């Protein structure tokens, strides 16, 4: 079981939890009665998809040989700890669980969520799987912004209100930007290896220096986009409490941390996103108090 937990990459789960917290909390200032079951179902869908895509990436990268020389967290297939088939089955099981939770949520809200769920699962698998994985062509950050930013946040609010509003789209921006920052740091860490095996991530395409600038810009974008939500609740100014941590991460990134030196920054950025989400959740809750 410890190996499966390791393969699930717990440090990445903040990217699944944070947007659901914020999207659900938006129900408070707009006067929507919170539906706890719908919130739980939205959280399960997000978590199952995140863990599923982690297993799917482990499997796909493992069989392609792109993880043979790895700096980051241990991969199950590449390290030989689990067979490729068992990891693939684990990914499919998590996608199935996400589908079940998503189906219940769709039946309670809107059938359109079934289509959204199908698209999300296809995107999760084809990130590094399939004949032409888009993650190998530099589109990973775009996908993360859409699915773990816009879709997860607005979808969680939709689960409460059955509508998409400008407010839900607005608060999805910082969630998407921080999720992208996590992936961008991961890709910066893997840049030398990815370049050798032909994995053309954005970091590989734009180079080390520009990748670091991009990460800093994503973190700054999240802070400024979050502040725009002051129009929803004046308590949103509390999100500025993340600035010291955000600055420390940005400084360390731009001081040239490489390889294993970037691993702690992944954890810090995950904490940054979760801390931001908790502050935003509190701010939205207080708008109704």
Residue 72 confidence (pLDDT): 60
Question: Which residues, including other chains, have CB under 8 Å from residue 25's CB and lie 6 or more apart?
Answer: 280, 281, 284, 285
Question: Cα(18)–Cα(22) distance, rounded to whole angstroms?
Answer: 6
Question: Which residues, including other chains, have CB under 8 Å from residue 176's CB and lie 6 or more apart?
Answer: 19, 144, 145, 146, 148, 149, 150, 153
Residue 67 confidence (pLDDT): 60
How many residues make up the chain in this entry? Answer: 289
Residue 258 confidence (pLDDT): 86
Question: Which residues, including other chains, have CB under 8 Å from residue 110's CB and lie 6 or more apart?
Answer: 158, 162
CA torsion through residues 18, 19, 21, 22, sign:
positive
Question: Cα(49)–Cα(46) distance, rounded to whole angstroms?
Answer: 5
Residue 257 confidence (pLDDT): 85
| Structure tokens that stand for 5 in this block | 């937990």
* CATH number, position 196: 1.10.600
Residue 73 confidence (pLDDT): 67
Residue 123 confidence (pLDDT): 92
pTM: 0.91
Question: Cα(179)–Cα(188) distance, rounded to whole angstroms?
Answer: 14
The count of structural domains within the chain is: 1
Q: What is the 3-state secondary structure (H, E, C) of the chain?
A: CHHHHHHHCHHHCHHHHHHHHHHHHCCCCCCCCCCHHHHHHHHHHHHHHHHHHHHHHHHHHHHHCCCCCCCCCCCCCCCCCCCHHHHHHHHHHHHHHHHHHHHHHHHHCCCHHHHHHHHHHHHHHHCCCCCCCHHHHCCHHHHHHHHHHHHHHHHHHHHHHCCCCHHHHHHHHHHHHHHHHHHHHHHHHCHHHHHHHCCCCHHHHHCHHHHHHHHHHHHHHHHHHHHHHHHCCHHHHHHHHHHHHHHHHHHHHHCCCCHHHHHHHHHHHHHHHHHHHHHHHHHHHHCCC
Residue-range definition of the domain harbouring residue 42: 2-286
pLDDT in tens, the chain (289 residues): 788 888 888 878 888 999 999 999 999 988 888 999 999 999 999 999 999 999 998 888 888 776 655 566 667 887 778 888 999 999 999 999 999 999 999 999 999 999 999 999 999 999 888 778 898 888 989 999 999 999 999 999 999 999 999 999 999 999 999 999 999 999 999 888 888 888 899 999 999 999 999 999 999 999 999 999 999 999 999 999 999 999 999 999 999 888 888 889 988 999 999 999 999 999 999 986 5
Q: How many CB atoms lie within 10 A of CB 223?
A: 19
């Amino acid at each position: 079981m410890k190996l499966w937990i390791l393969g699930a990459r717990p440090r990445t789960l903040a990217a699944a939890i944070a947007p659901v917290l914020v999207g659900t909390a938006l129900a408070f200032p707009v006067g929507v009665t919170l539906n706890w079951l719908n919130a739980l179902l939205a959280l399960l869908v997000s978590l199952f998809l995140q863990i599923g895509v982690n297993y799917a990436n482990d499997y796909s990268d493992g069989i392609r040989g792109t993880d043979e020389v790895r700096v980051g967290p241990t991969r199950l297939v590449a390290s030989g700890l689990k067979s490729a088939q068992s990891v693939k089955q684990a990914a499919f099981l998590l996608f199935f669980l996400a589908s079940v939770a998503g189906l219940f949520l769709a039946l309670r809200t809107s059938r359109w969520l079934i289509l959204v769920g199908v698209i999300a699962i296809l995107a999760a698998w084809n990130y590094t799987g399939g004949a032409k994985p888009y993650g190998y062509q530099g589109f990973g950050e775009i996908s993360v912004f859409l699915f773990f930013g816009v879709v997860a946040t607005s979808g969680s609010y939709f689960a409460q209100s059955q509508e998409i509003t400008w407010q839900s789209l607005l608060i999805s921006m910082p969630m998407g930007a921080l999720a992208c920052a996590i992936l961008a740091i991961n890709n910066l860490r893997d840049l030398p290896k990815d370049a050798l095996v032909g994995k053309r991530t954005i970091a590989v395409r734009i180079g080390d220096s520009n990748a670091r600038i991009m990460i800093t810009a994503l973190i700054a974008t999240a802070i400024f986009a979050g502040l725009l939500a002051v129009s929803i609740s004046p308590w949103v100014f509390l999100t500025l409490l993340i600035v010291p941590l955000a600055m420390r991460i940005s400084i360390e990134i731009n001081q040239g941390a490489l390889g294993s030196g970037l691993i702690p920054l992944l954890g810090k950025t995950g904490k940054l996103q979760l801390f931001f989400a908790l502050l935003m959740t509190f701010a939205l809750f207080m708008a109704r108090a």
